[in-house]
Amino acid sequence: MKKGDIIQIKVDKYAFEGKGIGKIELGNNSDGNVSDSFIVFVNGAYPGDTVSAKIRKLKKSYAEANVKEVLIPSSKRVEPRCKYFGMCGGCKQQDLDYMHQIAYKQEQVEDIFKHDGGFSDLPAGMAGFEIEDILPSENVFFYRNKMEFSFSELEWLKEFDKDAKNNKGFFVGLHVPRNYEKILDIDECFLQSELSSQILNFSRDFFKGRSISIYNTKSHTGYLRNLVIRQSQNTRDLMINLVTSDTNESLMKEYVAAIINKFPEVTTIVNNVSKKKASIAVGDYEIVYHGSGFNYDKIGDYKFRISANSFFQTNTIQAEKLYNTVLDYAELNGDEIIYDLYSGAGTIAIYVSVQAKEVYGFESVESSIFDAKANLEINKIENVSFVQADLYKTFLPFTNVLPKPDIIILDPPRGGMHKTTVKDVLELSPEKIVYVSCNPSTQARDIKLLVGGGYKLMKMRPVDMFPHTYHIENVALLLK
């Protein structure tokens, strides 16, 4: 077997990040008796499928392949709702029944902790753990409160447009996987709302009709970069953020007037201006053209201010389930001192504050601290404070003037915790740690270090924040 070979394989398992697992026989082993099995990870295949697949990577103990054709489909497959499925990078599992999606996510979290983390089936608190049932998403479509679309002069030609001669022009939509230049020019998306798709199409027609230039990442010329739509799920707020390479006041005023006339539901419009060469939808500064420049949304009883560049949980309704799991694991009685690390805009710190004595949030990003303090005022919270601290370095000097924590809540980015932060947490030695993660692999790595420092992993619960994707949120409880 070699790279480029086409093989036929039956898939019987499912791995993290959505790869089907199958085995092929390579012939007799060294004893000449039993055939050796070789593991193949197959992108785009599900348990129960029999597929033909092309080998794209070959190692000593395994291979990776991409599906060429589904020969016998799994009974778990369903017809995807979106016509762009398979080309777009937004949804990877829309052709898999949702109940099986969450079942596989549960299995994957368990496998990661057992195989990568080294935890076993022993009772919780010894060398094993209890894994509670995953919390499914209330909505499997139209669940996102934020969508980020990109402008490009280059289009990724769709399968149903394969006869097109030219893929250069004016396009706005989503990136295809592993391609940062070409855009899948879409006219609908089932992740945010029908109104969001209407705003996308109107904006395309508005700027294309005026021959407005698109920013080119190679020549660093052109005006339009991104269209970001933020739509609150528990209030009626709707923000449009147009990211451009420069200011154009007359054009923006014309666009704003046209948008408000067509879509009176829009409550604020901002223009982020980015001089950066990199293709990121965050401006160096912003100009507010309509409304307050903010959205407001609620998680539970709490209201949060969201700026154009704020981090806010993308699935607002599911965020409440996530935060309730944190509260459930923390088992607060009102006397606790809590440290909330990677506190962002303060959503978790504020959410748990009513059941705690004091909460201290630690965050490195200055704008997030600014948003967090504004959220304290909005909710009239008086027992929460925020500290700007670099969590890639030791944050212990900031704690010298603070009471010692009874509980530490961790919610790091996908890369997990820095080893220095792990050491700091161990030195602070809280009785309880609640670890929230959007990446079970790095979470298992960090928890293994915490367990090595004297903690016991008691239980965990996955929460599905992103239907039709591989992403999994997971909450874990550790006790001393």
Handedness of CA 418, 424, 427, 429 (dihedral sign): negative
Domains and CATH numbers, the chain: 6-77 (2.40.50.140), 101-139+315-479 (3.40.50.150), 146-299 (2.40.50.1070)
Active site residues per annotation: 438
- pTM, two decimals, is 0.90
N-to-C CA span, the chain: 50
DSSP string, 105-164: HHHHHHHIIIIIS--EEEEETTTE-EEPPPB--S-SSS--SEEEEEEEEEB---GGGTT-
Distances in Å between the Cα of 86 and the Cα atoms of 75, 94, 320 are 19, 9, 31
CB–CB of 361/349 below 8 Å? yes
Residue 144's closest CA among 80, 233, 268?
233
pLDDT for position 358: 98
Q: What 3-state DSSP class applies to 247?
A: coil
Beta-bridge mates of residue 388 = 363
Compute φ and ψ for 148, nearest 5 degrees.
-120, 115
Mean pLDDT by groups of 10 residues along the chain of 480 residues:
91 87 73 64 94 92 92 96 89 95 94 83 63 96 97 78 64 84 92 97 98 93 97 97 97 98 98 90 94 96 93 94 98 97 96 98 91 96 96 94 97 96 97 97 96 95 96 96
pLDDT for position 34: 38
pLDDT for position 27: 62
Q: CB burial class (10 A; 0-12, 13-18, 19+) of residue 388?
A: middle
Q: What 3-state DSSP class applies to 219?
A: coil
pLDDT for position 125: 54
CA distance 464 to 449: 26
Q: Residue 476 corresponds to which tokens in the numbers above?
A: 């874990």
